[in-house]
Structure 1
Amino acid sequence: MHQPARGLSDHIALGFTKLLRLCADVFFAKRYGHRAVVLETVAAVPGMVGATMQHLVSLRRMQDDGGWIRTLMEEAENERMHLMTFIAIAQPSWFERLIIQIAQAVFYAGFFVLYMVSSRTAHRVVGYFEEEAVLSYSLYLAEIDAGRIANVPAPAIACHYWKLPATATLRDVVIKVRADEAHHRDVNHGFADELAGNACDARAIAPYPEHAGDLRLTA
Structure 2
Amino acid sequence: MKQITLAKFAARALFNGGRNYQCGHFSFAERHQHSGGFGSFHWRWMSTMPDIKKDQQHSEEEEKKNEVVNNNSNNVVVSSYWGITRRKVVREDGTEWPWNCFMPWDTYHSDVSIDVTKHHVPKSFADKFAYRTVKFLRVFSDLYFKERYGCHAMMLETIAGVPGMVGGMLLHFKSLRKFEHSGGWIKALLEEAENERMHLMTMVELVKPSWHERLLVIVAQGVFFNAFFVFYLIWPKAAHRFVGYLEEEALISYTQHLKAIESGKVENVPAPAIAIDYWRLPKDATLKDVITVIRADEAHHRDVNHFASDIHHQGKQLKEAPAPIGYH
Note whether the superposition's TM-score is higher than 0.5: yes
Answer yes or no: is 1:207 the counterpart of 2:207. Answer: no
Query: One-letter code of the match for 1:186?
Result: D
Q: 1:171 deviation in Å?
A: 0.2
User: Residue 90 of structure 2 aligns with which residue?
Assistant: none
Pick the aligned partner of 2:292 from 167, 172, 175.
175
Q: 1:58 deviation in Å?
A: 1.4
Answer yes or no: is 1:157 the counterpart of 2:265. Answer: no
3-state DSSP of counterpart to 1:11? helix
User: Residue 73 of structure 1 aligns with which residue?
Assistant: 190
User: Residue 52 of structure 1 aligns with which residue?
Assistant: 169
Query: One-letter code of the match for 2:312?
Result: L
Instruction: Write the distance in 1 (CA, Å) between the matches of 2:278 and 2:145.
Output: 27
Q: 1:140 deviation in Å?
A: 0.3
Instruction: Write the distance in 1 (CA, Å) between the matches of 2:282 and 2:256.
Output: 24
Pick the aligned partner of 2:312 from 195, 200, 211.
195
Q: 1:198 deviation in Å?
A: 7.4
Query: One-letter code of the match for 2:267?
Result: A
Instruction: Write the distance in 1 (CA, Å) between the matches of 2:136 and 2:144.
Output: 12
User: Residue 217 of structure 1 aligns with which residue?
Assistant: none
Answer yes or no: is 1:37 the counterpart of 2:154. Answer: yes
Instruction: Write the distance in 2 (CA, Å) between the matches of 1:27 and 1:75.
Output: 27
Asked if the contact 1:17–1:128 (Cα under 8 Å) also holds between the matched residues in 2, the reply is yes
Query: One-letter code of the match for 1:63?
Result: E
Query: One-letter code of the match for 1:110?
Result: A
3-state DSSP of counterpart to 1:3? coil
Query: One-letter code of the match for 1:207?
Result: I
Q: 1:4 deviation in Å?
A: 1.1
Q: Which structure has the larger Rg?
A: 2
Pick the aligned partner of 2:208 from 91, 105, 111.
91
Instruction: Write the distance in 2 (CA, Å) between the matches of 1:209 and 1:81.
Output: 14
Asked if the contact 2:183–2:323 (Cα under 8 Å) also holds between the matched residues in 1, the reply is no
Instruction: Write the distance in 2 (CA, Å) between the matches of 1:24 and 1:167.
Output: 32
> Which runs of 5 or more structure 1 residues have no equivalent in the other structure?
211-219
Asked if the contact 1:55–1:69 (Cα under 8 Å) also holds between the matched residues in 2, the reply is yes
Structure (1/2) with the larger helix percentage: 1
Query: One-letter code of the match for 2:251?
Result: V
Asked if the contact 1:41–1:100 (Cα under 8 Å) also holds between the matched residues in 2, the reply is yes
Query: What are the superposed Cα offsets for residues 143-178 of structure 1, whole Å, 9 maximum, x if unpaired?
Result: 000011000011111111101111010000000000
| Aligned 1:80-159 pairs, distance under 5 A | 80-159=197-276
Instruction: Write the distance in 1 (CA, Å) between the matches of 2:273 and 2:171.
Output: 34
| Aligned 1:20-31 pairs, distance under 5 A | 20-31=137-148
3-state DSSP of counterpart to 2:175? helix
3-state DSSP of counterpart to 2:196? helix
Asked if the contact 1:154–1:173 (Cα under 8 Å) also holds between the matched residues in 2, the reply is yes
Query: One-letter code of the match for 2:137?
Result: L
TM-score computed with the length of structure 2 as normaliser: 0.61
Counting matched residue pairs gives 207
Question: RMSD of the alignment, in Å?
Answer: 1.6
Instruction: Write the distance in 2 (CA, Å) between the matches of 1:33 and 1:121.
Output: 29
Q: 1:71 deviation in Å?
A: 0.4
Instruction: Write the distance in 1 (CA, Å) between the matches of 2:131 and 2:166.
Output: 20
TM-score computed with the length of structure 1 as normaliser: 0.91
3-state DSSP of counterpart to 1:163? coil
3-state DSSP of counterpart to 1:14? helix
> Which runs of 5 or more structure 2 residues have no equivalent in the other structure?
1-117, 317-321
